[in-house]
Amino acid sequence: MSESIIWYLREFLRTEWIRKFLLAKTDPLVTPPYFKDYPTLTGKECTACYQCMMICPAPGAIAVLRHDDGWRPEIYPGHCIRCGLCVEACPEDVLQSGRVLEAQHRDRTGFRATFHLSIDREICMRCGNCCISCPVGREGEPDGAVLKIEKGGVQILNSDLCTGCKTCEVNCPNRGIRVARVVEGVQEAAA
């Protein structure tokens, strides 16, 4: 009995073992180069084309905001799922995340999207939230708006100007307006 206790004490009180136990070190954590973090700004100028908002699959994750010195996309980390689609969709390379931009340039990939707006006139209250919140045509001519309340309902004036950003859909209180998006990935032929 006593022999085995001594054996154990010898075994566990070895200096080398105690040192190893207390000063153990794992390999340092290194972010791998392919890791996609929340998208960050590259510093290039945003043209407010809303492609990032159009492609984003997570509600409330990205918004293009107006600042004194121009437009900038804002990422809301609580909502963003770090899919990187906004980085890929932006035609101006305003955003970056991991190696998305690099891979996109290398492979010459992009998105081609078409949109279809539909309004349920039965439930539409004509509160105008969609028309007012729509970011298209705000600064230019009034005729440049996508939506307007006239002739007894919300009318789609310029469907070709729709960017598919879904602002109208998100801000409709009774889901009276829906934006159907058909997006396909495209790749340019190598030169």
Partner 1 sequence: MVTVEDGRIVAADNACTLGEQKFLGEPRLKGPIQREGKGWKDITYDEAILRTVEMLRDAERPLLFGWSGTHVEAQCIGVHMAEVLRGVIDNTSSVCHGPSILAIQEVGHPGCTLGQVKNRADLVVYWGCNPIEAHPRHLSRYTRYAEGFFLPNDYLDRTVIVADIRKTETGNIADEFVQVTPGGDYAVLSALRAIVRGKRDIIPRSVAGVPREQLFRIADRCLNAKFIAFYFGLGLTMSRGKYKNVRNAIELVSELNRHTKATISAMRGHYNVYGSNEVNTWMTGYPFGIDFARGIAFYNPGETTAIDVLARRECDACLVVASDPAAHFPRACVEHLADIPTVVIDPYPNATTAFADIQIPVAVTGIDAAGTAYRMDGVPIRMRRVLKTDYPSDEEILGRMYAMLQEDHPP
Site for partner 1, rule CB under 8 A: 63, 65-66, 124-129, 131-133, 138, 148-152, 171-174
Q: How far, in Å, CA of 180 to CA of 173, rounded?
A: 18
Residue 75: which of 85, 62, 84 has the closest Cα?
A: 62
| Nearer to partner 1 among residue 100 and residue 119 (C-beta) | 119
CB of 72 to partner 1, least distance (A): 11
Look-up of token digits 């101006």: 92
Look-up of token digits 């010459």: 108
CB of 175 to partner 1, least distance (A): 8
CB of 135 to partner 1, least distance (A): 9
CB of 139 to partner 1, least distance (A): 10
104 and 113 Cβ atoms separated by less than 8 Å: no
| Nearer to partner 1 among residue 113 and residue 149 (C-beta) | 149
Look-up of token digits 């602002």: 167
Q: What residues have CB less than 8 Å from 126, skipping those under 6 apart?
A: 149, 153, 154
| Nearer to partner 1 among residue 62 and residue 101 (C-beta) | 62
CB of 153 to partner 1, least distance (A): 9
| Nearer to partner 1 among residue 38 and residue 71 (C-beta) | 71
| Nearer to partner 1 among residue 19 and residue 66 (C-beta) | 66
Provide the pairing of β-strand 40-41 with 109-119.
unpaired
What are phi and psi for residue 52, nearest 5 degrees?
-65, -45
* The Cα angle at residue 164 between residues 174 and 67, in degrees rounded to 5: 95
